[in-house]
Amino acid sequence: MDTELERIQQTELQANNLNFGLLNQKVDYLINQLTDLGKEIERTKKEPKENTGDIIQVKDAAKLLGRSVSTVYIKASKGELPSWNDSGRLLFSRNELENWVLANRKESTKLTNERSSLSNMKKSRKRYSKK
């Protein structure tokens, strides 16, 4: 009877060892999968964000411009921003907005330069007219 019990215990021990071996294989597989996933996440973080799509909605346009959503709606309704209405949704082209920002920045720089040269002229006139 003791040999029968020992044989049963030996069989259970072998089954447990087999299960632990399979468990170790499964854990190793999962570790490899997680490592690959981590590498993929790091790779996508380093890629440029250009592939996010050119068409954006109001919230994204507001973030891009550094303005509030209501300001973006107002400027778009006045035709100051390049946009279009698609079945009730206001849409923008990311590239067009970036170009708009650059174009307006250059114009504002020109205006600032013109204003400063006008103010310099006024100062010169005042200086020479007093003498």
Give yes or no: residues 72 and 43 share one domain.
Answer: no
Give yes or no: residues 23 and 84 share one domain.
Answer: no
Query: How many domains are contained in the chain?
Result: 2
Q: Which domain holds residue 24?
A: 2-47
Q: How confident is the model at residue 10 (pLDDT cuts 50, 70, 90)?
A: confident
Which runs of consecutive H residues, i.e. helices, occur in 47-131?
58-65, 69-77, 94-130
Helices (H) and strands (E) in the chain, counts: 4, 3
Check whether 108 has a pLDDT greater than 90: no
Residue 92's region, left for phi above 0, alpha for psi from -120 to 50, else beta, is beta
Give yes or no: residues 80 and 62 share one domain.
Answer: yes
- The per-residue pLDDT of the chain, averaged, comes to 80
